[in-house]
Amino acid sequence: MATENAGGSPVEYIQHHLTNLSVGEGFWQLNIDTIFFSVLLGALIVFVAMRIGRGLRAETPNGLQNAAEGILEFVDEQIRDSFGSRAPKIIAPLALTILLWVWLMNFMDLIPVDLLPAIASGLGVEYLKVVPTTDLNTTLAMALFVFALTIYYSIKVKGLGGYIKMFLFHPFGKFLIPINIVMTTIDELAKPISLALRLFGNMFAGELVFLLIALLTLGATISASLLIWFPLQVVLDMAWIAFHILVITLQAFIFMVLTIVYIGMAHTLDDH
């Protein structure tokens, strides 16, 4: 796993791995690797979906269609659990997209940390960060879209007055309006931020652990005695992959369920 492309010290190695391939500076920094891999994985979903869509059979569904139907029913069940039957039309494809896309983007974490960057450096690309969900921009973008939808449905269901009233009277009733405004604002803002940071943090930490495991034999090109750690490295790597398969699935699932729950909460009428 260890390669020479990071050059010297462990710190440099890790920093190198955590740097995006990007153009532009400051706010105008565009992370090409993040966009490339997320769009690639999105294209994969669409490609597979089109393949399933071409051979749709109602009577005798084949393997791929069965899998898709299973996932679809799973998502549908989650939605029905929190919405009943009055779910808005966008929620189902939204939840399905999150589950599939986030899972695939998380899955990039399981590809050996140095494999794709090494290939890229062979092709003359200096930096490459392959997991789009370790980029806060990705997770926050999805979280903000969900947040926008919760506001939209809140206003749609409760009316603009009802939405403002929620800020004024929500946790403590009408005598503590200033505190209510602060509390509800924090409450509302915490939703997208926690949604984005949870996924980002988990994936980032997972990536970091893979990097640390890779560090065990990093200096092997310099001092062969480091190879003594190789068996330990293999064992640790396998253990962390096994655990991480659960983590990436769980994080994709949590993101989906919380999206459904947040939009579902926006749909419940205020009972104060």
Partner 1 sequence: MSISITLLAQLIAFVLMVWLVNKYLWAPLSALMEARRKKIADGLSASERGKHELKLAQERSTELLREAKDKANDIIAQANSRSNQILEEARNNAKTEAERVVAQANAEIDREVNRAKEELRAQVADVAATGAERILKREVTDKDHESAISDLIARI
Provide the binding-site residues for partner 1, judged by CB under 8 A. 18, 20, 22, 24, 26-31, 34-35, 38-39, 42, 45-46, 49-50, 52-53, 56, 58, 65, 68-69, 72-73, 76, 90, 92-94, 96-97, 100-101, 132, 135-138, 140-142, 144-145
Contact predicate 130/111, CB 8 Å:
yes
Q: Which of 180, 194, 223, 225 is catalytic?
A: 194
Contact predicate 142/196, CB 8 Å:
yes
Active site residue 54: no
Active site residue 202: yes
Q: How far is the CB of 159 from partner 1 (least distance, A)?
A: 26
Nearer to partner 1, 90 or 224 (CB): 90
Taking the C-alpha atoms of residue 199 and residue 29, their distance in angstroms, rounded to an integer, is 22
Give the residue ranges of DSSP H helices in 135-225.
136-169, 177-215
Contact predicate 132/34, CB 8 Å:
yes
Which residues on neighbouring strands pair with residue 23, listed in sequence order? 30
Q: In degrees rounded to 5, what are phi and psi of residue 190? A: -65, -30
Nearer to partner 1, 132 or 264 (CB): 132
Token duo for residue 83: 């919405």
Active site residue 31: no
Taking the C-alpha atoms of residue 254 and residue 92, their distance in angstroms, rounded to an integer, is 15
Q: How far is the CB of 20 from partner 1 (least distance, A)?
A: 7
Around 168, how many Cα atoms within 13 Å sit in the side-chain half-sphere? Answer: 8
Q: How far is the CB of 168 from partner 1 (least distance, A)?
A: 30
CA angle 86, 89, 94 (to 5 degrees): 120
Nearer to partner 1, 93 or 159 (CB): 93
Nearer to partner 1, 169 or 204 (CB): 204
Q: In degrees rounded to 5, what are phi and psi of residue 263? A: -70, -35
Q: How far is the CB of 63 from partner 1 (least distance, A)?
A: 14
**Residue 120: what residue type?**
A
Nearer to partner 1, 83 or 229 (CB): 83
Q: How far is the CB of 183 from partner 1 (least distance, A)?
A: 26
Which residues on neighbouring strands pair with residue 107, listed in sequence order? none
Q: Which of 5, 22, 137, 198 is catalytic?
A: 198
Catalytic positions are 194, 198, 202
